[in-house]
Structure 1
Amino acid sequence: MSDGRPLSGQLKKFVFRGKSTNNGDKRGDYLEIVIPELLSAGYSFYTWPSAPLLAWFLWSQRKHLRGLRVLELGCGTGLPGILASKCGAHVTLTDSVALPRSLTHLSACCEANGLIPGRDVQIIGLTWGLFLTDVHNLQPVDLLLASDCFYEPSQFEEVLSTVSYLLDGTDARFLCAYQERSSDWSIEALLKKWSLKGALLNLDSLSDSSGIDYRALIGDRSLHLLEIVPV
């Protein structure tokens, strides 16, 4: 979809709360993120359902995010990366260098949550599968993130080649939330080609650690959370 001009918009609020204590006290475990969405502008201006799933998983692991070097790929409105930054991670947000309006809107999403691009978060254009100097400068990272990057099969290898490059020689991992759209689509052969291995995470643990019912979060969609690491 083209990086078109916005035609309509709304402000979407995401509220993250800690699991209730015995007395129901959740003070100190609360985060509110607002995302300005432009519903008629293009897919990168809208928060797709996989992003809140990944954000909730990060929220359940928030105590481990502080100080981590986090990079989000193809982040669109940047919900997971913004949450990681608010939880103390050093975050770089990326989206296609060919979509400058998307990057501008991403900056606006950060600013809506009190994050100043260039100071609190870094925002850069990144083309999957193209290894220029800017990509090399992104290393090292501790955690890669993406939501719904496995949307167009023709780009699967470009995504995984980028992931392989960024993870090479590190102990980092890639967390990806995605929606299963076809049983015929598979990345198994590409994972092997790029010396990666993946495993689906058990979402029941998300319910146990966060107190949220992940089934209510994903509804009737086939959403999954995948962890990919180097072989």
Structure 2
Amino acid sequence: MNDGCPGNGQVKKFVFRGKSSSNGETRGEYLEVVIPELLSAGYSFYTWPSAPLLAWYLWTQRRHLHGLRVLELGCGTALPGILAAKCGAHVTLSDSVALPRSLQHLSACCEANGLIPGRDVQLIGLSWGLFLADFHALRPLDLVIASDCFYEPTQFEDVLATVAYLIEGSDSKLLCAYQERSGDWSIEALLKKWGLKGAILDLDSLSESTGVDFRALIGERSLHILEISSE
């Protein structure tokens, strides 16, 4: 991965709608997130398909997000993290410490949604498996989120080592949306090595319980949401 070079961009709009009931009354709810993208730049300047899936799942859980301490790993344009922040969570957004332009673009994504870095959200440079000073100050956390972090097998263990440290000794968990790219790739042995357990969420059951058609969001892609917690 590299920072890439700024190129032709676009602003992508994501609209989240739902209903809530209070005192016998039902009202509609609406949230809009806009993401500036640089399509000719590196990976982190583009919103990959797993991010909207995770964002929609978080939207269905918005009642539980308020006040939670949330960290997004490898967030790129940070669609899920920005949504969580706009739903009242205390959010820290992170991307590789080695990609300063990506972090700069991340700041622009926040500002495009009325979130001021350092006030409404926190931004840090964090490389998986590299435990620098700022990393230790992140705990305790209530929730860690990530989308498409499992795209390069050589980095799987770094991701899981990072998660294992962040959620150790707590009820915190990782929610990770990912795209299945090869049937030969597996994290099962690494989960066991780092004292973790994982379960893939049943999107059909989620669709029934939330009213969100997750299968329509996925389309023809092999996308999943994985929940990882300590054993």
**TM-score bin (small chain):** over 0.9
Partner of 1:118: 118
Identify the residue that residue 191 of structure 2 maps to in structure 1. Answer: 191
C-alpha separation in 2, matches of 1:210 and 1:113: 25
Q: Could you tell me which residue of structure 2 aligns to residue 90 of structure 1? A: 90
Which amino acid is the alignment partner of residue 200 of structure 2? Answer: L
Structure 2 counterparts to residues 101-180 of structure 1, below 5 A = 101-180=101-180
Label 1:204 to 1:98 Cα distance change in 2 as closer, same or farther (>3 A): same
The amino acid of 1:17's aligned partner reads R
Aligned partners of 1:85 and 1:91 also within 8 Å: yes
CA contact (8 A) 2:20 2:28 kept: no
The Cα offsets for residues 150-183 of structure 1, whole Å up to 9 and x where unpaired, read as 0000000000000000011111010000000000
Is the contact made by 1:147 and 1:176 (CA closer than 8 Å) also made in structure 2?
Answer: yes
Tell me by how many angstroms 1:206 deviates.
3.0
Percent of aligned positions with the same letter in both sequences?
Answer: 78
Q: Match of 1:197, SS?
A: strand
For the pair 1:216 / 2:216, whether they are aligned, the reply is yes
Question: Any conservation in 2 of the 1:72–1:144 contact (CA below 8 Å)?
Answer: yes
Structure 2 distance, partners of 1:28, 1:172, is: 30
Shift in CA distance, 124/187, structure 1 to aligned 2, threshold 3 Å: same
Once the two structures are TM-superposed, the CA of residue 27 in structure 1 deviates from its matched residue by 4.3
- The CA deviation string for residues 85-139 of structure 1, in whole angstroms up to 9 with x for no partner, is 0000000000000000000000000000000000000000001001121110111
Contact 1:60 1:209 in 2 (8 A): no
Shift in CA distance, 106/26, structure 1 to aligned 2, threshold 3 Å: farther
Structure 1 SS opposite 2:54: helix
* Distance in 2, Cα, partners of 1:222 & 1:26: 35
Aligned length: 228
Corresponding position of 1:61: 61
Distance 2:50 2:164 in 1: 22
The answer (yes or no) to whether the contact 1:70–1:91 under 8 Å persists in 2 is yes
Secondary structure of 2:32's aligned partner: strand
Return 66-75 or 197-206, whichever deviates more: 197-206
CA contact (8 A) 2:20 2:29 kept: no
- Please give the TM-score of this superposition, normalised by the length of structure 2: 0.95
Give the match for residue 45 of structure 1. Answer: 45
Q: Distance in 2 between matches of 1:124 and 1:78?
A: 13
TM-superposed CA distance for 1:211, in Å, is: 2.4
Q: CA deviation at 1:20?
A: 8.4
- Where do 5+ consecutive residues of structure 1 fail to align? none
In 2, the alpha carbon distance for the partners of 1:90 and 1:225 equals: 22
Give unpaired runs (5+ residues) of structure 2: none
Rounded to whole Å, the distance in 2 between the matches of 1:26 and 1:185 is 45
Deviation at 1:28, TM superposition (A): 4.6
Distance (Å, rounded) in 2 between the aligned partners of 1:185 and 1:111: 37
> Could you tell me how far apart the structure 2 residues matched to 1:210 and 1:43 are?
31
Describe the SS at the equivalent of 2:56: helix
Asked whether the 8 Å contact 1:19–1:209 carries over to 2, the reply is: no
Q: Residues 198-213 of structure 1 correspond to what in structure 2 (within 5 A)?
A: 198-213=198-213
TM superposition shift of 1:5: 1.4
SS at match of 1:93: strand
Range with bigger deviation, 139-148 or 128-137: 128-137
Equivalent position SS for 2:80: helix
